[in-house]
């Protein structure tokens, strides 16, 4: 029997952003502020902790109107602006704060997290290293989390693990650091990673974004069932996030939960057409043998050789082989050195009795890729069939 080559999924990528840093009233006292300014600082810290960012901005504006601004206040207002989405204003204020007083711990730390969120990992790394110089030991865990995140984004996983271990030296029970270490050692030591994940879950406090990033790493390390759990928890916080939903469907599919994966992808496409979701659903239903639905979906995609190859294979499986051969010849013309295209054209031709051309194509596929198992099995099957039939 002639076999069909399959297409390998592209690897996932991942990144994360851990939380910011806190301030210290001791800094306010050492600054020589009057009682009103110290009271305002205490209120600002409480509001930042509780998410009262608009009120922080109002307090900062009021103090500035009376000439009461200072580097610490600029940094606090910058954090509030950032948290309310005013990124450009926040960046300017963070930089002004650091120019006025470079030794403010939380300004470096919060600025670093903003930079991480906007993809400026190199600058974020600089700010985090500066934060290590000016922050006390109580801030080491959060600095370590973010340093690990930066290193992960840069593909420097050994350095990320070193940052995590440094943070765990100060805070052995930190749930984020335990989870990050589990992520980083999962592939090399899955049993140890399992222990770390359990400890992390029991410690609590894992954010939806962290859970999403954890899910991506589980996919990358071929643990889709664990990824499903992480994505489900992340989706509980933001059910409409399409990126999480797509990767949730991917994890379900790779966990052999095909029907559930298809349901998620169809719901996404019903809401809004998206090429990535259509392509994943098309491949999913093709593998299930739903060639009619797969054909409709593949025909919505750009006419690349890879997509046209799938269109042709759908037509072939629907017994529309003449149409399939015409399309597949076009695929081979566009990509003559692609073994999969050659093999699939050979499959179609063999089914119509064109055994000579089929064998020529399989031989060419093996010349291009001598280790191609599908081509090897196909040519052996073809030659055996020809021998038994005397052709």
* Residue 205, pLDDT score: 60
Tell how many helices (H) and how many strands (E) occur in the chain: 22, 0
**C-alpha to C-alpha distance for 149 and 214, rounded to whole angstroms:** 12
**What residue segments make up the domains of the chain, in order of their start?**
27-132, 136-142+149-204, 207-301, 317-391
**C-alpha to C-alpha distance for 249 and 56, rounded to whole angstroms:** 41
CATH fourth-level superfamily of 317-391: Tetratricopeptide repeat domain (1.25.40.10)
Spell out the long-range contacts of 230-236 with Cβ–Cβ below 8 A and sequence spacing 24 or more.
233/208, 234/208, 234/209, 236/208
- Site of tokens 């800094």: 27
For residue 181, the Cα-to-chain-centroid distance in whole angstroms is 17
Q: How confident is the model at residue 17 (pLDDT cuts 50, 70, 90)?
A: very low
For residue 16, pLDDT over 70 is answered with no
**C-alpha to C-alpha distance for 367 and 337, rounded to whole angstroms:** 10
Question: Are the C-beta atoms of residues 387 and 355 closer than 8 Å to each other?
Answer: no
Highest mean pLDDT among 107-116, 154-163, 276-285: 276-285
* Residue 15, pLDDT score: 30
Q: How confident is the model at residue 32 (pLDDT cuts 50, 70, 90)?
A: low
3-state secondary structure at position 200: helix
Q: What is the pTM of this model?
A: 0.57
**C-alpha to C-alpha distance for 302 and 298, rounded to whole angstroms:** 8
Class of the CATH-defined domain 27-132: mainly alpha
Least confident piece of the model among 37-41, 53-57, 276-280, 386-390: 386-390
pLDDT in tens, 36-92: 778 888 888 898 888 889 998 998 888 888 877 788 888 888 888 888 888 888 888
H or E stretch at 230? helix 224-237
For residue 369, the Cα-to-chain-centroid distance in whole angstroms is 32
Nearest to 365 by CA among 337, 333, 330, 389: 337
* Residue 50, pLDDT score: 87
pLDDT in tens, 320-337: 999 999 999 999 999 999
Architecture per CATH, 207-301: Alpha Horseshoe (1.25)
Least confident piece of the model among 145-154, 164-173, 306-315: 145-154
Q: How confident is the model at residue 23 (pLDDT cuts 50, 70, 90)?
A: very low
Question: Are the C-beta atoms of residues 374 and 343 closer than 8 Å to each other?
Answer: yes
3-state secondary structure at position 198: helix
Nearest to 360 by CA among 389, 333, 328, 382: 382
Instruction: State mean pLDDT over 310-320.
Output: 96
For residue 265, pLDDT over 60 is answered with yes
* % of the chain surpassing 90 pLDDT: 40
Q: Which two tokens stand for residue 63?
A: 């103090």
Q: Give the number of residues written for the chain.
A: 391
* Residue 324, pLDDT score: 96
pLDDT in tens, 213-245: 778 867 776 778 878 988 998 999 889 999 999
- Do domains 27-132 and 317-391 share one topology? The answer is yes
Q: How confident is the model at residue 20 (pLDDT cuts 50, 70, 90)?
A: very low
């Amino acid at each position: 029997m002639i076999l069909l080559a399959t297409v390998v999924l592209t690897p996932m990528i991942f990144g994360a952003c851990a939380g910011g840093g806190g301030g210290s009233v001791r800094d306010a006292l050492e600054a020589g502020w009057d009682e009103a300014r110290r009271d305002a600082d205490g209120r600002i810290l409480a509001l930042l902790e509780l998410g009262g960012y608009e009120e922080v901005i109002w307090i900062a504006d009021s103090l500035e109107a009376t000439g009461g601004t200072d580097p610490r206040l600029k940094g606090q207002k910058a954090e509030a602006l950032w948290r309310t989405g005013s990124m450009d204003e926040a960046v300017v204020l963070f930089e002004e704060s650091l120019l006025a007083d470079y030794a403010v711990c939380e300004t470096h730390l919060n600025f670093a997290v903003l930079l991480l969120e906007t993809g400026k990992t190199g600058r974020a790394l600089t700010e985090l290293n500066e934060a290590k110089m000016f922050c006390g030991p109580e801030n080491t865990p959060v600095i370590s989390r973010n340093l690990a995140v930066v290193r992960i984004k840069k593909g420097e996983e050994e350095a990320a693990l070193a940052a995590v271990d440094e943070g765990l030296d100060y805070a052995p029970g930190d749930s984020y650091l335990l989870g990050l270490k589990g992520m980083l050692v999962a592939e090399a030591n899955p049993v140890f990673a399992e222990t770390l994940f359990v400890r992390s879950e029991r410690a609590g406090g894992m954010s939806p974004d962290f859970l999403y990033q954890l899910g991506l790493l589980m996919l990358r390390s071929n643990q889709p069932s664990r990824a499903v759990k992480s994505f489900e928890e992340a989706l509980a916080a933001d059910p409409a996030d399409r990126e999480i939903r797509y990767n949730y469907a991917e994890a379900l599919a790779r966990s052999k939960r095909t029907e559930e994966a298809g349901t998620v992808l169809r719901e996404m496409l019903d809401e809004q057409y998206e090429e990535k979701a259509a392509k994943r659903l098309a491949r999913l239903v093709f593998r299930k043998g739903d060639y009619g639905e797969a054909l409709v979906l593949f025909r919505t995609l750009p006419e690349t050789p890879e997509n046209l190859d799938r269109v042709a294979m759908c037509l072939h499986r629907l017994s529309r082989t003449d149409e399939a051969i015409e399309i597949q010849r076009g695929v081979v013309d566009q990509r003559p050195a692609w073994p999969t295209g050659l093999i699939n054209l050979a499959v179609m031709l063999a089914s119509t009795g064109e055994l000579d051309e089929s064998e020529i194509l399989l031989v060419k596929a093996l010349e291009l890729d001598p280790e191609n198992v599908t081509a090897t099995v196909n040519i052996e099957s073809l030659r055996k069939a020809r021998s038994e039939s005397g052709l």
